[in-house]
């Protein structure tokens, strides 16, 4: 579809899960129901939550058809503000 055409993504500095993790560049999509992180990044988190696998999800829009969801987690996102 064309849902993302012309839509800006909010880009900020912040932390995933807790402030002990590295400060990174975050991109928030206000139209998205979920935010994606790579398994590679997940493995760098300090004390990451267990990956849950009860819900089946498919990626359709902005990823290639071979992308795979390993599972999901719920985590806090902390952002810098001025």
**DSSP helix/strand/coil, 39:** helix
Radius of gyration of the chain (CA): 14
Q: Spell out the domain ranges in the chain.
A: 1-82
Residues 52-78 have pLDDT tens digits of 987 666 666 555 667 777 888 999 999
* Average pLDDT for 16-38: 86
CA distance 50 to 57: 17
Specify the range with the lowest mean pLDDT, choosing from 3-7, 10-14, 78-82.
3-7
Tokens encoding 2: 């064309």
> What is the reported pLDDT for 7?
60
**DSSP helix/strand/coil, 26:** strand
**Confidence (pTM):** 0.70
* Contact in structure between 29 and 9 (CB atoms under 8 Å): yes
């Amino acid at each position: 579809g064309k849902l993302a055409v012309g839509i800006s993504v909010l880009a900020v500095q912040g932390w995933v899960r807790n402030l002990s993790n590295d400060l990174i560049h975050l991109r928030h999509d206000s139209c998205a129901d979920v935010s994606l992180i790579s398994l590679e990044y997940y493995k760098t988190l300090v004390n990451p939550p267990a990956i849950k696998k009860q819900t089946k999800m498919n990626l359709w829009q902005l990823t290639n058809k071979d992308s795979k969801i390993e599972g999901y987690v719920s985590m806090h996102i902390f952002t810098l503000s001025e």
